[in-house]
Amino acid sequence: MEGRYVFAVRFRLEPERDVTVDPDTFETRLVRPAEPPGEAGWLFFRDTLWRGEIGDEAHVRELTAEALGGVTVLDVDYRAFEVDAAYREAFREEIAANLDAFRAESVDEVVNKYLGSSLEVEPEAE
């Protein structure tokens, strides 16, 4: 079972010595593993993406810069919540067991409200 949050990150290198880099700005894909549904941190999608730290652009750039070893982060954009079929099933079951916490009447309402079309289920390998 696997889930991960995907972000697009644009950063700049600023050499500390008498060297230059060209280009000095890069874009990359940053992946953050998702906690299994029901475990501590599994509500990252609700607590951090939807109404939390991601909304504070300066803060999320700072956190990302630390994670990337101190480069200058220019932009961080959330792209997708990628899950395999087993994660999706467990995720939906955990939401269903806690609908009151989401103030929703259905799992689909919760998924649409917090993730919209950014939830991507990976096809099963053959």
Question: Which residue matches tokens 């939390």?
Answer: 52
- Phi–psi pair at 123, nearest 5 degrees: -65, 145
Q: What is the pLDDT of residues 26-76, one digit of tens each?
A: 999 999 999 999 999 999 998 888 766 677 888 889 999 999 998 999 999
Question: What residues are paired with 121 via a beta bridge?
Answer: 83
SS3 117: helix
Domain boundaries, the chain: 3-121
Q: What is the pLDDT of residues 75-92, one digit of tens each?
A: 999 999 999 999 999 999
pTM for the predicted model, two decimal places: 0.86
